């Protein structure tokens, strides 16, 4: 049988063959294609891997990787690389150094790489990410068309090639505009690992998403091994068998298996127990067993293993696995790593024997194939939400199974698992999806001009967005329920930012809306998921992620009676809707009546206290009464209404009441407060208001007092202070449209937004 993988030449064959044969390589490839078509059920085996490790050795790594866990992580990948693959290791600070030559993976190459891994240090002065990617990709590292090329990039910093900030900005722009397109064109998949909260995750996401790679953040140095291993699984996938309860099954088709066992106890001696009860240990030599023991794991390779159930005697840590080399393989058509929200993917798989797809009905009828999907915000806390048999009723005539996967509705991590149980053999496939949006929003603490500021940052992850033609605004909801609209300023790093100046402690929510065009000129409008964060004076913001799955409803208390005292259960009964009766409990109608009367008494006391303070000014009293009526429309909490001296910000809706009497002095104060909220200059001009939010009355002939009232009302609406919930989204869109149209008159479309953000510093107490 002419196997498809024979259509490729190894590196040694390419160097020794006469040049004339190399000229016929394209013709031989066509013969392979014709052979594939003639066979009907042939399928191409995965191309061998070409893995290039690019490791940051800048001085900041002393802080972010104090135990230098990069060394054992690189050593593990070197040991896992299969024969027939290629690999190389580069380190970079200001300069880029090829630490381990880019060569075919052999035992001598592994020995060299293992020795060189011990030289990884943290002595670099800068972080030259761009040149490191270029040298690893284009200079002396051509793996050939028959290899699948991947880069695993580890860094903890920003683009930093010089002391000049301007030069660093130019280098960032060069990477985004020149290096990334070249990587994509070269067919190189880049997996990025950020080992610090200070790393440029925006740029790393751009690189990985553009090239189809994964983007991970190691929150601690201890995460490095796990993330390196996950990146390796994508770059050089290997066939696995399930490892469950320290047991795994090896069938007669397996020529070799490799068990990677992570130990919970570093001093423990791992043992393998064969089907014939033979015990294998690191201290016992065996010609068919190769054992590599490190401080954290054991890597055991067994040639020509016995068929049957094997056992592992060890307290295993997560990520342990068993991979096999066999002529009976589970092949899965490539799936993307990064998908967008709402995207739907199809799983296609087949079983192959000696490279040929098995389509015999009597064989396929024995298969039990099951797929499952887990999801969540954190891969350590995934919850299963889908499980389904695949092809159980009617095996496919061509041997290719297809299954439409559930839609990826929410951003997060999705883990797909497929297990094929063939009675006499078993195979496992796993794949992780990262579901993303074109944009991402987060709250960061930044040092700006020597001050620690809290900044709302919106990142652009897609390379297909026309950045200059994109406008971004956010609705900020404060702990007391007030909502204000903020435009975000663009930066030179394809992000948008707005400084947050919190006034009250508590939970804030930012809902971001983007509007613009892609590079093809097609318009888009995207509303991001809300970002929740908690502000506490002296502690700053702490971001709060909503649960991926809504919490399950708690059982009704009546289903599980509790002997707790009734005085402790009254609040719970009212909240949970418990209908259980008690002789001493207060009926709900009586409780609500008491609360209503109490509120009326408090309202009356507040009213008379206010009247006493304000004296006999009936006009002001009428305005205050109007404010009480308008309060529900702005969704104000009862507490602010009970203040003896309501702040001017809360009294502003009074001025929008019908037929107010013109009072020049208060009008001037209220305009100042409103403009502060909108981040306007202290004495805003009518033209400026027109440019920002089109708030002034277009009817020039209206009376002066009516014009002022209309202007104030529109300004309040632009802030979201008197808008209903369903009007806020429209207000944001209007703000973005007005900013965009005003930008057309101001050379670039973003000057007005810059001015607004600069002027926000005038009032340190406003969001």
- Tell me how crowded residue 725 is: count the other CB atoms within 10 A of its CB: 9
Give the pLDDT of residue 378.
81
Q: State pTM to two decimals.
A: 0.69
> How sure is the predictor about 15, in pLDDT bands with cuts at 50, 70 and 90?
very low
The answer to whether residue 583 is domain-embedded is no
Nearest by Cα to 470 from 511, 524, 530? 524
Give the pLDDT of residue 724.
55
> How sure is the predictor about 446, in pLDDT bands with cuts at 50, 70 and 90?
confident
Give the pLDDT of residue 86.
94
Upper half-sphere CA count for residue 735 (Cβ side, 13 Å) = 30
Nearest by Cα to 238 from 103, 46, 53? 46
Task: Name the domain count of the chain.
Answer: 6
Identify whether residues 363 and 409 lie together within a single domain.
Answer: yes
Give the pLDDT of residue 394.
86
The answer to whether residue 762 is domain-embedded is no
Distance linking the first and last C-alpha atoms of the chain: 72
Please give the residue that has the higher pLDDT: either 267 or 678: 267
Give the pLDDT of residue 106.
94
The answer to whether residue 682 is domain-embedded is no
Give the pLDDT of residue 583.
39
Helix (H, G, I), strand (E, B) or coil at 199: coil
Give the pLDDT of residue 566.
42
Residue range 98-120: average pLDDT? 93
The crossing angle, in degrees rounded to 10, of helices 664-677 and 704-719 is 30
Residue range 281-308: average pLDDT? 94
Instruction: Report how far apart, in Å, the C-alpha atoms of 155 and of each of 135, 191, 376, 599 are.
Output: 16, 11, 26, 59
Least confident range of 65-69, 547-551, 661-665, 737-741: 661-665
Give the pLDDT of residue 617.
44
Residue 365: CB partners within 8 Å, gap ≥ 6? Answer: 395
Identify whether residues 128 and 206 lie together within a single domain.
Answer: yes
65-81 pLDDT, tens digit per residue, is 888 989 999 999 999 99
Average pLDDT across the chain, whole number: 75
Please give the residue that has the higher pLDDT: either 173 or 453: 173
Please give the residue that has the higher pLDDT: either 564 or 466: 466
Identify whether residues 338 and 431 lie together within a single domain.
Answer: yes
Question: Would you say residue 48 has pLDDT above 50?
Answer: yes
Question: Would you say residue 614 has pLDDT above 70?
Answer: no
Give the pLDDT of residue 697.
43
553-610 pLDDT, tens digit per residue, is 444 444 444 444 444 333 333 333 334 333 344 555 565 666 666 666 666 666 665 5
Give the pLDDT of residue 620.
37
Identify whether residues 113 and 221 lie together within a single domain.
Answer: yes
Among residues 436, 466, 481, which one ends one of the domains? 436
Give the pLDDT of residue 143.
56
Give the pLDDT of residue 353.
93
The answer to whether residue 98 is domain-embedded is yes
Give the pLDDT of residue 607.
61
Give the pLDDT of residue 726.
58
Residue range 340-355: average pLDDT? 92
Instruction: Report how far apart, in Å, the C-alpha atoms of 607 and of each of 46, 602, 632, 635, 646 are.
Output: 79, 8, 17, 20, 12
CATH number at residue 415: 2.60.40.10
Give the pLDDT of residue 752.
40
Residue range 389-414: average pLDDT? 91
Give the pLDDT of residue 324.
96
152-183 pLDDT, tens digit per residue, is 999 988 999 999 999 999 999 999 999 999 99
DSSP H helices in 236-369: 361-364
Identify whether residues 70 and 180 lie together within a single domain.
Answer: yes
Nearest by Cα to 47 from 190, 150, 196? 150
Range of the domain at 453: 439-544
- DSSP string across 42-64: B-PPPPPEEEEEEEE-BTTHHHH
Identify whether residues 312 and 213 lie together within a single domain.
Answer: no
The answer to whether residue 389 is domain-embedded is yes
Among residues 309, 326, 343, which one ends one of the domains? 326
Q: Which residues pair with 348 in a beta bridge?
A: 402
CATH number at residue 165: 3.40.50.410
CATH number at residue 312: 2.60.40
Give the pLDDT of residue 497.
93
Please give the residue that has the higher pLDDT: either 364 or 570: 364
Identify whether residues 496 and 353 lie together within a single domain.
Answer: no
Nearest by Cα to 692 from 759, 634, 762? 759
Least confident range of 346-350, 442-446, 688-692, 715-719: 688-692
Residue range 734-758: average pLDDT? 53
Give the pLDDT of residue 451.
76
Identify whether residues 322 and 332 lie together within a single domain.
Answer: no
Identify whether residues 120 and 215 lie together within a single domain.
Answer: yes
693-736 pLDDT, tens digit per residue, is 443 344 444 444 455 455 545 544 544 444 555 566 666 677 67
The answer to whether residue 256 is domain-embedded is yes
DSSP type of residue 658: S
The Cα 526–Cα 473 span in angstroms is 11
Identify whether residues 209 and 102 lie together within a single domain.
Answer: yes
Question: Would you say residue 643 has pLDDT above 80?
Answer: no
Least confident range of 251-255, 321-325, 586-590: 586-590
Nearest by Cα to 425 from 289, 330, 322, 313? 330
Among residues 604, 627, 644, which one ends one of the domains? 644
The crossing angle, in degrees rounded to 10, of helices 686-693 and 751-759 is 110
Give the pLDDT of residue 603.
64
The percentage of the chain sitting over the pLDDT mark of 90, rounded to a whole number, equals 47
Query: Does residue 546 contact residue 532 with C-beta atoms inside 8 Å?
Result: yes
The answer to whether residue 148 is domain-embedded is yes
Q: Give the β-pairing of 189-194 and 215-217.
A: parallel
Question: Would you say residue 522 has pLDDT above 80?
Answer: yes
DSSP type of residue 30: H
Give the pLDDT of residue 552.
60
Give the pLDDT of residue 693.
41
Q: Give the β-pairing of 346-353 and 383-389.
A: unpaired
Please give the residue that has the higher pLDDT: either 693 or 44: 44
Identify whether residues 72 and 194 lie together within a single domain.
Answer: yes
The answer to whether residue 109 is domain-embedded is yes
Give the pLDDT of residue 392.
80
Identify whether residues 187 and 270 lie together within a single domain.
Answer: no
**Residue 214 exposed, middle or buried by CB count within 10 Å (0-12, 13-18, 19+):** buried
Give the pLDDT of residue 141.
65
């Amino acid at each position: 049988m002419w196997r498809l993988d024979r259509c490729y030449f190894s590196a040694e064959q390419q160097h020794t063959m006469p040049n004339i044969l190399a000229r016929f390589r394209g013709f031989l490839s066509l013969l392979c294609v014709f052979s594939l078509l003639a066979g009907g059920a042939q399928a191409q085996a995965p191309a061998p891997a070409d893995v290039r490790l690019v490791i940051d050795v800048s001085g900041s790594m002393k802080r972010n990787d104090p135990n230098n866990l990069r060394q054992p992580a690189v050593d593990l990948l070197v040991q896992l690389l299969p024969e027939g693959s290629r690999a190389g290791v580069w380190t970079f600070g200001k300069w880029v150094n090829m630490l381990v030559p880019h060569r075919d993976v052999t035992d001598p190459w592994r020995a060299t790489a293992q020795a060189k891994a011990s030289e990884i240090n943290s002595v670099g002065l800068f972080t030259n990410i761009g040149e490191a990617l270029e040298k690893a990709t284009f200079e002396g590292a051509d793996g050939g068309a028959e290899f699948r090329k991947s880069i695993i990039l580890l860094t903890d910093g920003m683009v930093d090639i010089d002391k000049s900030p301007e030069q660093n900005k130019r280098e960032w722009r060069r990477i985004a505009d020149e290096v990334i397109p070249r990587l994509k064109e070269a067919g190189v998949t880049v997996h990025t690992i950020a080992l610090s909260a200070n790393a440029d995750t925006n740029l790393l996401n751009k690189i990985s998403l553009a090239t189809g790679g994964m983007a991970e953040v190691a929150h601690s140095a201890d995460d490095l091994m796990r993330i390196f291993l996950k990146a390796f699984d994508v770059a050089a996938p290997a066939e696995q068998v399930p490892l469950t309860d320290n047991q795994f099954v090896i069938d007669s088709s397996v020529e070799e298996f490799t068990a990677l066992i992570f130990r919970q106890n570093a001093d423990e001696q791992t043992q393998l127990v064969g089907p014939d009860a033979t015990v294998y240990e690191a201290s016992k030599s065996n010609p068919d067993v190769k054992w590599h023991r490190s401080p954290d794991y054991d890597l055991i390779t067994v040639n020509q293993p016995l068929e049957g159930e094997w056992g592992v005697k060890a307290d295993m840590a997560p990520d342990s696995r068993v991979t096999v080399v066999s002529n009976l393989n589970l092949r899965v058509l490539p799936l993307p790593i990064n998908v967008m929200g709402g995207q739907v993917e199809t799983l296609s798989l087949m079983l192959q024997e000696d490279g040929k797809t098995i389509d015999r009905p009597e064989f396929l009828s024995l298969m039990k194939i099951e797929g499952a999907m887990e999801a969540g915000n954190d891969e350590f806390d995934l919850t299963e939400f889908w499980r389904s048999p695949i092809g159980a009723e009617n095996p496919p005539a061509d041997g290719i199974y297809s299954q439409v996967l559930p839609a990826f509705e929410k951003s997060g991590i999705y883990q797909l698992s497929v297990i094929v149980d063939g009675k006499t053999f078993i195979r496992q496939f796993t794949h992780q999806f990262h579901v993303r949006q074109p944009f991402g929003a987060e709250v960061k603490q930044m040092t700006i001009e020597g001050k620690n500021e809290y900044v709302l940052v919106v990142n652009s992850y897609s390379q297909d967005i026309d950045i200059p033609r994109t406008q971004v605004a956010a609705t900020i909801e404060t702990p007391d329920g007030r909502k204000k609209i903020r435009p975000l300023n663009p930066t030179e790093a394809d992000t948008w930012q707005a400084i947050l100046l919190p006034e009250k402690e508590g939970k804030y929510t930012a809902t971001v809306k983007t509007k613009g065009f892609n590079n093809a000129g097609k318009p888009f409008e995207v509303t991001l998921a809300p970002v929740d964060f908690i502000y506490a004076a002296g502690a700053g913001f702490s971001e709060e992620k909503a649960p991926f799955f809504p919490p399950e409803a708690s059982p009704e208390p009546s289903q599980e009676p509790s002997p707790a005292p009734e005085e402790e259960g009254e609040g719970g009964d009212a909240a949970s809707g418990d209908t259980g009766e008690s002789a001493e409990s207060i009926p709900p109608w009586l409780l609500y009546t008491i609360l209503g009367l109490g509120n009326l008494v408090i309202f009356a006391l507040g009213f008379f206290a206010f009247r006493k303070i304000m004296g006999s000014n009936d006009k002001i009293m009428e305005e205050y009464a109007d404010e009480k009526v308008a309060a529900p429309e702005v969704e104000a909490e009862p507490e602010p209404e009970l203040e003896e001296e309501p702040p001017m910000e809360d009294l502003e809706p009074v001025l929008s009441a019908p037929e107010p009497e013109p009072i020049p002095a208060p009008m001037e104060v209220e305009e100042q407060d409103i403009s502060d909220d909108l981040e306007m200059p202290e004495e805003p001009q009518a033209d400026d208001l027109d440019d920002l939010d089109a708030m002034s009355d277009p009817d020039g002939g209206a009376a002066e007092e009516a014009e002022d009232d209309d202007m104030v009302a529109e300004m309040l609406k632009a802030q979201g202070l008197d808008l209903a919930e369903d009007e806020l989204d429209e207000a944001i869109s209007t703000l973005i449209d007005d900013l965009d149209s005003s930008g057309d008159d101001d050379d670039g479309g973003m000057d007005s937004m810059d001015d607004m953000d600069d002027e926000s510093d005038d009032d340190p107490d406003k969001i």
